[in-house]
């Protein structure tokens, strides 16, 4: 069985019908997973319910985001919503849903550490563009970075790796972790492209950041050499006790927000690379805006995870 952390409440983050990061993304994915030949091997798990007094949740969030920012999102939602920036709307339920998404990532960390096997977080809003002081680029809270910081507080966890294969650079994640020698961050992303960060010269305070800018139009043939010659050596030499994957699927050729040429099945290859680093891997959804390509890509990821579970 493969744990999939999901709640219908994730659909309640209302970005508007025409916004690329809309609820239809998760609806397409859940339908595809329920129709997959191995659907009965998915262990659908609800995230831990939100309780603003819960020490685990709020300590994890405050370890990354200032309390004033978190309070500002709560107040904006209570007032009926608004916009952090032109791309990042807040609806009346966004604050609660974003906290529930954080809980899903934390729950997945707990599960992976207990089972020594992968898990998938099917949540929204995404998180890898959210810098500590403010959200941006569709993102509210920095889910992957929060999960990494949380993992380091668990017994026996000294090093956490983060692999970000979203087509956009995870500037928020990098901003959180680049000065932490216990976290290694690696990103492959279209460059130049939004948000304009992720130059190869950005190495982190402890040489713990590896940015691999990719030219527009790249196919799996362009991605495999960097994975094999740079990503794997970098993360394997770091020897993480846990790997967190910011699993964005917007490098698909069909995706409207990028200019890469990957096919959905190529993300199965990415998944195999990740699981070569460690079976203790949390895959968490970031981008991916063509619903069909997104759903097929996540099917490819989970298919490879199930193969690893069988071994």
Q: Which residue has the higher pLDDT, 52 or 103?
A: 103
Cβ-contact 105, 143 below 8 angstroms: yes
pLDDT average, residue stretch 101-118 = 98
Whether residue 53 has pLDDT greater than 90? no
Q: Collapse the DSSP code of 247 into the 3-class scheme (helix H, G, I; strand E, B; otherwise coil) and give the result.
A: strand
For the chain, the first-to-last Cα distance in angstroms comes to: 13
Contact present, 276 and 232 (Cβ < 8 Å): yes
Q: How far apart are CA 266 and CA 252, in angstroms?
A: 9
Instruction: Judge whether 105 and 146 are in contact, CB under 8 Å.
Output: yes
Q: 168-204: per-residue pLDDT in tens?
A: 999 999 999 999 999 999 999 999 999 999 999 999 9
Tokens, residue 176:
């959180």
Cα–Cα distance list, 25 to 11, 40, 56, 223, 268 (Å): 9, 22, 29, 25, 19
Shortest CA distance to 114 belongs to which of 202, 60, 43? 43
Known catalytic residues? 129
What is the mean pLDDT of the segment spanning 272-289?
Answer: 98
Residues 270/226, Cβ–Cβ less than 8 Å: no
d(CA 274, CA 238): 14
User: Average pLDDT over the chain, rounded to whole?
Assistant: 97
Q: Report how far residue 299's alpha carbon sits from residue 286's, in angstroms, rounded to the nearest whole number.
A: 15
3-class secondary-structure state, position 79: coil
- What pLDDT is stored for residue 190 in this prediction? 98
Greater confidence (291 vs 54) lies with 291
Contact (Cβ atoms closer than 8 angstroms) between residue 183 and residue 153: no
Q: What would the mean pLDDT of 7-32 be, rounded to a whole number?
A: 97
Domains defined for the chain, CATH in brackets: 2-310 (3.40.800.20)
pLDDT of residue 52 exceeding 70: no
Q: Are 129 and 172 in contact (CB under 8 A)?
A: yes
* 311 has pLDDT over 90: no
Report how far apart, in Å, the C-alpha atoms of 261 and of each of 168, 254, 304 are: 14, 8, 21
Does position 234 have pLDDT exceeding 90, yes or no?
A: yes
Which tokens go with 224? 């495999």
Give how far Cα 32 sits from Cα of 35, 38, 228, 256, 302, Å. Answer: 5, 11, 30, 20, 11
Residues 76 and 38 sit within 8 Å (Cβ to Cβ): no
Instruction: Report pLDDT for 99.
Output: 98
So what's the pLDDT on residue 308?
82
Distance CA 230, CA 11 (A): 37
Integer-rounded Cα Rg, in Å, for the chain is 17
Q: With pLDDT > 70 as the criterion, what percentage of the chain qualifies?
A: 99
**For the segment 118-177, what is each residue's pLDDT rounded down to a tens digit?**
999 999 999 999 999 999 999 999 999 999 999 999 999 999 999 999 999 999 999 999
Q: What is the mean pLDDT of residues 209-238?
A: 98
**Percentages helix, strand, coil for the chain, rounded to the nearest 5?**
40, 15, 40
The β-bridge relationship of strands 2-5 and 42-45 is parallel
């Amino acid at each position: 069985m493969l744990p999939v952390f999901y709640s219908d409440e994730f659909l309640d983050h209302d970005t508007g019908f025409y916004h690329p990061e809309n609820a239809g993304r998760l609806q397409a994915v859940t339908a595809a997973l329920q129709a997959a030949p191995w659907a009965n091997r998915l262990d659908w798990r609800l995230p831990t319910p939100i309780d603003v007094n819960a020490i685990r949740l709020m300590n994890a969030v405050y370890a990354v985001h200032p309390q004033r920012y978190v309070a500002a999102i709560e107040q904006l939602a209570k007032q009926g919503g608004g916009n952090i920036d032109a791309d990042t709307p807040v609806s009346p339920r966004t604050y609660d849903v974003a906290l529930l998404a954080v809980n899903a990532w934390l729950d997945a960390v707990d599960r992976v550490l207990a089972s020594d096997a992968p898990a998938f977080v099917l949540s929204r809003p995404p998180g890898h563009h959210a810098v500590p002081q403010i959200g941006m680029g569709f993102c509210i809270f920095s889910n992957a970075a929060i999960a990494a910081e949380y993992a380091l507080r668990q017994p026996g966890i000294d090093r956490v790796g983060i692999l970000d294969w979203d087509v956009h650079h995870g500037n928020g994640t990098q901003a959180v972790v680049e000065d932490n020698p216990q976290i290694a961050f690696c990103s492959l992303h279209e460059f130049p492209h939004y948000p304009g960060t992720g130059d190869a010269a950005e190495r982190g305070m402890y040489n713990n950041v590896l940015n691999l800018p990719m030219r527009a139009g790249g196919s799996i043939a362009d991605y495999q050499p960097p994975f094999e010659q740079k990503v794997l050596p970098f993360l394997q030499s770091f020897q993480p006790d846990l790997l967190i994957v910011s699993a964005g699927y917007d490098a698909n050729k069909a995706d409207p927000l990028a200019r890469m040429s990957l096919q959905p099945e190529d993300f199965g290859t990415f998944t195999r690379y990740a699981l070569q680093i460690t079976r203790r891997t949390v895959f968490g959804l970031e981008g991916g805006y063509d619903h069909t390509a997104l759903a097929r890509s996540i099917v490819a990821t989970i298919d490879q995870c199930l193969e690893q579970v069988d071994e």
